[in-house]
Amino acid sequence: MIRFFESNLGLAFRSRLTEHAYKQYFKDQTYYRVSNLDGRLANADQCLTEDVTMFSQSVAHLYSHLTKPIFDIVLISGTLFGWANRRGTGSIIYLPIIMASAVITVTARILKRISPRFGHMVAEEARLKGHLRYLHSRVITNSEEIAFYGGHQAENNQLNKAFAALKEQMSFIYRKRILYIMMEQFLMKYVWSGTGMVMIAIPILTAEYTSPQQNALLDDEPDGGVSERTRAFATSKNLLYSAADAVERLMTSYKDITELAGYTSRVWEMFSVFEDVKQGKYIRTTVSGEGADVGGKRGERFDTSTIQGVQYESAGGIHLKNVPIVTPNGDVVVRNMTAEIPPGMHLLITGPNGCGKSSLFRILGGLWPVYRGTVERPPKSSMYYIPQRPYMTLGTLRDQVIYPDTVAQMRRKGVVDDELAAILEIVHLSPIVEREGGWSARNDWMDVLSGGEKQRMGLARVFYHRPLFALLDECTSAVSIDVEGSIYQAIKDAGITLLTVTHRPSLWKFHTHILQFDGEGGWKMEQLGASFTQQRLTFVEEKKQLETQLAAVPKLRDRLNELCTILGEDVTQDAVEDMTASD
Ligand SMILES: Nc1ncnc2c1ncn2[C@@H]1O[C@H](COP(=O)(O)OP(=O)(O)OP(=O)(O)O)[C@@H](O)[C@H]1O
């Protein structure tokens, strides 16, 4: 019973704590900041490690709990049989042994019959736990994408559903266990001890008996004080056993208390990280300290201890004033940016890798803090971001198109499946409805859809949500150029303003302006007219040609060396200089 109440109390406490933690975790994209900006708890959910630990603990527990009783049984049975044989009182000694064996066998049969299928139930519990951890790891891995999509509510709902199922299963097991434990304890405590009494009584009742009157005639103390000493010995022995038991309990409680302190510090750390993140304090464990040389290209550091920037929402466009782009590590990516992007200004964003293109979107999406300056932007519902890495949620095919909306929200907006079909038509994905078994088909869409299909599904979401601005971050790299072009045109026709990060010149024609980062902390923004586009295309063509020629240089050098060796001549001085320059 005590075990049952302990378990139930533990479950209830854990449920409350976990629910509270979930609420904190999903507040204002905290899950993104905790797993990406703050390194302290990023590795909290190591599913495999935990499973292996649990398994090892269970095996160790069983080992220590089975070996001693088995050893005791073997030893005691051996002693009893040996004793019976020596004394030759077989029938009297064997009777209790036969009784004990019979009672144990009957008890085992009863327990087996009334025992619920614990193995099956525990396996189901393990499956539900695994599913919950899987959902957690998905959130951790895709936290940036989810944060950009604003999918925290959808993910929270899924986690809560998985958690509720696990909680229900655990409560079910505990409910079943209470009846079983009651019966088990009744049989073992009362039936077994009752049988024990009978077993002890048999030799006493059947032994040769001398009456007290006969003994009184022999002496004043016929047993020479043996009974008094035996009583004192038995009392002291029982007291000593009880004291030893109490001290042992105290000592094991001390161990439990120190363990609890360890768990408490983990939970406390989790909540203090949530609190710090709420106040904009991030600690990145990979950074060695303020002003550390991180080997960055720009090498400039920003004091991230205070957030002085202002950001607010307005119905108009996007306006950045004196805003630096600073990574959570404090590296300055862009020193100072001022730009105005009204609706209808289709902006192409280019620059070398790591120059801050996606980081600009992180600032606009509210994922990274604005350390200085002012950011004015439309409400989050008016900006929809499609990340480089497509993210598919768990759920139906319909859920993929409307993400992060739920079906209830979709119905409230008055959208029906036919309209979703029309959207899939635009992104050239219509066949998948039939292929996957309809709108309500469930799958792990991350695995089921190809790279290009996932990217097109991401673009389909733009047509469902119809935002004012679509922030497209190299999200068409696996889509063919003609399909990509038709989708871009459709987005523009729908009155959505494009903010595109891309390296593909084929997309230039859909944009009116270009924002170019130089990778050294600088930037420039200009109009992208027809002549400008033409000129850039010529440059791109020339760049490609030069790259092809340069790539051939090592081969030419090898061939030249080969020819010199055949002819027994030296490489001419001019050629050496040319080769050195090319290196
Ligand atoms: N979560 C993060 N924490 C710390 N630094 C980051 C984080 N995310 C990005 N950075 C750094 O910020 C800089 C700019 O990254 P960003 O993703 O904006 O590059 P990008 O221009 O989009 O590059 P690409 O073309 O390769 O996608 C990089 O140096 C990167 O290492």
Could you tell me the pTM of the whole model?
A: 0.64
Q: Are residues 474 and 574 in the same domain?
A: no
The pLDDT, as a whole number, for residue 375 is 94
The pLDDT, as a whole number, for residue 289 is 40
Give the other-Cβ count within 10 Å of 426's Cβ. Answer: 20
Residue 299 within any structural domain of the chain? no
Task: From residue 147, give the alpha-carbon distance in Å to each of 19, 43, 85, 280, 404.
Answer: 20, 19, 79, 16, 10
Residue 298 within any structural domain of the chain? no
Residue 363 within any structural domain of the chain? yes
CATH code at position 431: 3.40.50.300
Task: From residue 516, give the alpha-carbon distance in Å to each of 162, 497, 511.
Answer: 45, 18, 13
pLDDT tens, the chain, 583 aa long: 445 554 555 555 555 666 666 677 777 777 677 666 665 554 444 434 455 455 555 566 666 666 666 776 677 667 666 665 665 555 555 676 677 778 878 888 888 888 787 777 877 887 888 788 888 888 888 888 898 888 888 999 999 999 999 999 999 988 888 888 888 878 877 887 777 677 666 665 665 545 555 555 555 556 656 676 666 566 655 655 555 556 555 555 555 566 566 667 767 777 787 888 777 777 655 444 443 333 344 567 777 777 788 988 888 899 999 999 998 778 899 989 999 999 999 999 999 988 999 999 999 988 888 989 999 999 988 999 998 888 999 899 999 999 999 999 999 999 999 999 999 999 999 999 999 999 999 988 988 899 899 999 999 999 999 999 999 999 888 888 889 999 999 999 999 999 999 888 888 889 999 999 988 889 999 888 776 766 677 777 778 878 888 888 888 888 888 888 887 777 665 555 555 555 5
296 Cα nearest atom in ligand 1: 29
Instruction: Pick the residue whose CA is nearest to atom 12 on ligand 1.
Output: 327
Instruction: Pick the residue whose CA is nearest to atom 10 on ligand 1.
Output: 327
Residue 433 within any structural domain of the chain? yes
Domain range for 482 is: 310-528
The pLDDT, as a whole number, for residue 235 is 60
Total structural domains within the chain: 4
Q: Are residues 340 and 250 in the same domain?
A: no
Instruction: Pick the residue whose CA is nearest to atom 3 on ligand 1.
Output: 328
CA–CA dist 299, 279 (Å, integer): 27
Q: Among 325, 355, 517, which residue has the most ligand 1 atoms within 8 Å of its CB, making it the best to mutate?
A: 355
Residue 293 within any structural domain of the chain? no
Domain closes at, from 487, 505, 528: 528
Q: How many CA atoms lie within 13 A of 76 on its CB side?
A: 8
Q: Among 359, 472, 516, which residue has the most ligand 1 atoms within 8 Å of its CB, making it the best to mutate?
A: 359
Q: Are residues 274 and 381 in the same domain?
A: no
Q: Are residues 32 and 160 in the same domain?
A: yes
Residue 203 within any structural domain of the chain? yes
Q: Are residues 40 and 140 in the same domain?
A: yes
CB 462 within 8 Å of CB 493: no
Q: Are residues 110 and 243 in the same domain?
A: no
Q: Are residues 400 and 460 in the same domain?
A: yes
Alpha-carbon torsion (546, 549, 552, 557), positive or negative: negative
Residue 302 within any structural domain of the chain? no
Residues with Cβ within 8 Å of 385's Cβ and at least 6 positions away in sequence, in order, are 148, 149, 361, 365, 471, 473
The pLDDT, as a whole number, for residue 363 is 92
Residue 520 within any structural domain of the chain? yes
Q: Are residues 253 and 357 in the same domain?
A: no
Task: From residue 142, give the alpha-carbon distance in Å to each of 151, 270, 299, 454.
Answer: 11, 20, 28, 14
Q: Are residues 30 and 129 in the same domain?
A: yes
351 Cα nearest atom in ligand 1: 21
Instruction: Pick the residue whose CA is nearest to atom 29 on ligand 1.
Output: 354
Instruction: Pick the residue whose CA is nearest to atom 17 on ligand 1.
Output: 358
The pLDDT, as a whole number, for residue 477 is 85
**Helix residue ranges, H only, 34-117:** 47-87, 90-114
Q: Are residues 327 and 459 in the same domain?
A: yes
Q: Are residues 541 and 558 in the same domain?
A: yes
329 Cα nearest atom in ligand 1: 4
Domain closes at, from 252, 287, 322: 287
Could you tell me how far CA 255 lies from the centroid of its own chain?
30
Give the other-Cβ count within 10 Å of 500's Cβ. Answer: 25
Residues with Cβ within 8 Å of 400's Cβ and at least 6 positions away in sequence, in order, are 392, 393, 445, 457
Domain closes at, from 179, 207, 235: 207
355 Cα nearest atom in ligand 1: 21
Q: Are residues 30 and 127 in the same domain?
A: yes
CA–CA dist 566, 558 (Å, integer): 12
The pLDDT, as a whole number, for residue 296 is 41
